[in-house]
């Protein structure tokens, strides 16, 4: 097996395969140099509970570096509802709490480096223990994949044949070749971190906030040691963030987030990323499988792209551990992963597109949906389970 890409999805798959498939020879390719220190990469990522459990299983979970998510608070900037309904219901809020779902946490927030560095450490230790079976090719970018009889030829300077190639090297939307299912949302995500003034007494620790605004969704992910990771999505053609200085951005953020957030005191310099959907119709093409961002790049509105990729990786290895017939596994993989994959693609695509609609009442409909989910406990619990574990 060749695994192309040593990000969190690719290296998780390689490590899981090394342990669950004791007869398999696994080679991990990545363009980055072997000596590059990835631990300092500060990008903020949200992990679901299922992803946390997978990292624990791989002995790559570092609880001391993680901020548990104990509650998710979703709301919409006023006016959310028509006047009469608004007077009756108040501002709609959806609050999903770990304690209500009888789980220790809904997920966790970690930096990219805090996820990848322990995974790489575990992989390199496994490689040292079994050098004839496990191999790393860092600093060797894969330039081409060529289908051959019964496998795939991988060109990374020299051509090598593998029975199975898993591509987990996806990149960001703006850099990708367009796949079969694609849509440019004409939105930009501004990403950085914020610090707060004194937290309001009503806000418990470990709350992730998502706010639907007239421009798009904005989210605050709690960080270890205080502060929060910010993802702020706005229209690209009429960007209200680009021309603002940091002080003005803080003022705007304090005006759009729910009062339970508290007062934002400062903000780091923000980076911007174009947003879009870019997905393959199928995960498999002969003996090549694409997972993670290589299979589907999603809008960050639900924060589920990484978690979906990790589930792709886990389910592929589990299927191979139960059946050594690679072709049979790949034939079944599509319908096994289909419900989880397409449900997440459809949900994020619907939400992302809804912010571009100029239909009367679109915002009110979202507000009613938030209120309905909060009122219908079984439906809210089902949504929470979907976010934590995907479709099962």
> For residue range 199-218, what is the model confidence (pLDDT) as tens digits?
666 567 899 999 998 889 99
- The rounded distance, in Å, linking the Cα atoms of 192 and 228 is 9
380 pLDDT tier (thresholds 50, 70, 90): very high
Tens of pLDDT, residue by residue over 123-138, are 999 999 999 999 999 9
User: Shortest CA distance to 13 belongs to which of 318, 278, 275?
Assistant: 318
Binning pLDDT at 50, 70 and 90, where does residue 255 land? very high
Quick count: other Cβ atoms within 10 Å of Cβ 245?
Answer: 9
Q: Which residues in 304-321 are b (16+ Cβ under 10 Å) and which e?
A: bbbbbbbbbbbbbbebbb
CA 24, chain centre distance (Å): 28
Helix pair angle (112-129, 8-20), 10° resolution: 30
- Residue 351, pLDDT > 90, answer no
Average pLDDT over residues 216-240: 94
Distance (Å, whole) CA 233 – CA 243: 15
Q: What is the H or E stretch that residue 386 is in?
A: helix 377-389
- Any idea which residue has 């703006």 for tokens? 174
Contact 287, 147 (CB under 8 A): yes
Mean pLDDT of 82-106: 79
Check residue 143 and report its DSSP letter: -
- Position 16 scores a pLDDT of 98
Confidence (pLDDT) at 78: 73
Mean pLDDT of 62-85: 82
Question: How many angstroms separate the CA atoms of 349 and 347, rounded?
Answer: 5
CA 370 to chain centre: 22
Q: What is the pTM of this model?
A: 0.92
Instruction: Write down the number of H helices and E strands in the chain.
Output: 9, 21
Mean pLDDT of 281-285: 95
Lowest-confidence segment of 45-54, 225-234, 361-370 by average pLDDT: 361-370
Residue reference for tokens 């051959």: 148
Identify the pLDDT of residue 354: 83
What is the 8-class DSSP label of residue 58? T
Class of domain 2-42+113-179+279-352: alpha beta
Helix (H, G, I), strand (E, B) or coil at 102: coil
Q: Tell me whether strands 67-69 and 44-48 are parallel, antiparallel or unpaired.
A: unpaired
Query: Are the C-beta atoms of residues 201 and 193 closer than 8 Å to each other?
Result: no
Q: Which of 376, 354, 352 is nearest to 364 (CA)?
A: 354
Q: Above 90 in pLDDT, residue 317? A: yes
Q: Do residues 207 and 222 touch, judged by C-beta distance below 8 A? A: yes
pLDDT value for 219: 96
CB 142 within 8 A of CB 32: no
- Is the Cβ–Cβ distance between 107 and 69 less than 8 Å? yes
Place of tokens 């044949």: 161
Task: For residue 176, list its beta bridge partners.
Answer: none
Does residue 163 register a pLDDT over 80?
A: yes
User: DSSP character for 149?
Assistant: T
Q: Determine which of 52-66, 169-183, 309-323, 359-373 has the lowest per-residue pLDDT on average.
A: 359-373
Q: What percentage of the chain has pLDDT greater than the value 90?
A: 80
Task: Taking each helix axis as running N to C, give the angle between helix 377-389 and helix 49-57, from 0 to 180 degrees, rounded to the nearest 10.
Answer: 30
pLDDT band at 173, cuts 50/70/90?
A: confident
Q: Which of the four pLDDT bands, split at 50, 70 and 90, describes residue 89?
A: low
Question: What are the structure tokens assigned to 27, written together?
Answer: 């080679």
User: 10 Å Cβ neighbour count for 25?
Assistant: 16
What confidence tier does 363 reach under pLDDT thresholds 50, 70, 90?
A: confident
Q: What local confidence, expressed as pLDDT, does residue 201 receive? A: 62
Of 70 and 371, which is predicted with more confidence? 70
Q: Is the CATH number 3.30.9.10 carried by domain 65-108+182-275+359-389? A: yes
Residue 201: is it exposed, middle or buried by C-beta count within 10 angstroms (0-12/13-18/19+)? exposed
* Contact between residue 16 and residue 314 where contact means Cβ atoms under 8 Å apart: yes
Provide mean pLDDT across the span 134-161: 95
Q: Say if residue 8's pLDDT is above 80.
A: yes
Residue 308's pLDDT band (boundaries 50, 70, 90)?
A: very high
Q: What are the C-alpha distances in Å from 81 to residues 65, 87, 111, 139, 353?
A: 40, 9, 37, 54, 20
Report which of 45, 46, 57 is spatially closest to residue 17, judged by C-alpha positions: 57
Domains of the chain by residue range: 2-42+113-179+279-352, 65-108+182-275+359-389
d(CA 189, CA 235): 9
- What band does 81 get if pLDDT is binned at 50, 70 and 90? low
pLDDT at 83: 57
């Amino acid at each position: 097996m060749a695994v192309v890409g040593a990000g969190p999805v690719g290296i998780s798959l390689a490590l899981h395969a090394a342990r669950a498939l004791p007869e398999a020879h696994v080679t991990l390719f990545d363009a980055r140099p072997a000596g590059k220190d990835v631990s300092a990469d500060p990008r903020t990522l949200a992990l679901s509970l299922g992803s946390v459990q997978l990292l624990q299983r791989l002995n790559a979970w570092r609880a001391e570096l993680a901020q548990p998510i104990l509650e998710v608070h979703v709301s919409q900037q006023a006016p959310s509802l028509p006047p009469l309904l608004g007077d009756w219901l108040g501002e709609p809020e959806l609050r999903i709490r770990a304690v209500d779902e009888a789980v220790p946490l809904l997920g966790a927030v970690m930096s990219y480096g805090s996820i990848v560095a322990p995974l790489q450490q575990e992989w390199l230790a496994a490689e040292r223990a079994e050098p004839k079976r496990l191999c790393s090719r860092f600093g060797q970018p894969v330039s081409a994949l060529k289908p051959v009889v019964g496998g795939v030829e991988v060109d990374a300077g020299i051509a090598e044949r593998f029975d199975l190639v898993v591509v987990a090297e996806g990149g960001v939307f703006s850099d990708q070749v367009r796949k079969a299912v694609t849509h440019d949302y004409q939105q930009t995500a501004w990403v950085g971190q914020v610090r707060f003034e004194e937290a309001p007494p009503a806000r418990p620790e470990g709350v992730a906030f998502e706010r639907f605004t007239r421009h798009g969704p904005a989210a605050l992910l709690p960080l270890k040691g205080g502060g929060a990771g910010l993802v702020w999505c706005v229209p690209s053609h009429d960007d209200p963030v680009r021309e603002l200085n940091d002080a003005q951005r803080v003022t705007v953020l304090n005006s759009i987030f729910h009062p339970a957030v508290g007062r934002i005191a400062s903000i780091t310099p923000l980076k911007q990323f174009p947003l879009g959907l870019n997905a393959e119709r199928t995960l498999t093409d002969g003996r090549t499988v694409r997972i993670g961002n290589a299979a589907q790049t999603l809008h960050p509105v639900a924060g589920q792209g990484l978690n979906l990729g990790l589930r792709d990786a886990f389910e592929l290895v589990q299927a191979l551990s139960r059946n050594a017939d690679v072709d049979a596994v790949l034939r079944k993989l599509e319908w096994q992963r289909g419900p989880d994959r397409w449900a997440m693609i459809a949900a994020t695509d619907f939400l992302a597109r809804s912010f571009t609609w100029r239909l009367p009442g679109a915002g009110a409909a979202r507000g009613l949906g938030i209120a309905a989910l909060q009122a219908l406990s079984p439906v809210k619990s089902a949504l929470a389970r979907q976010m934590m574990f995907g479709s099962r």
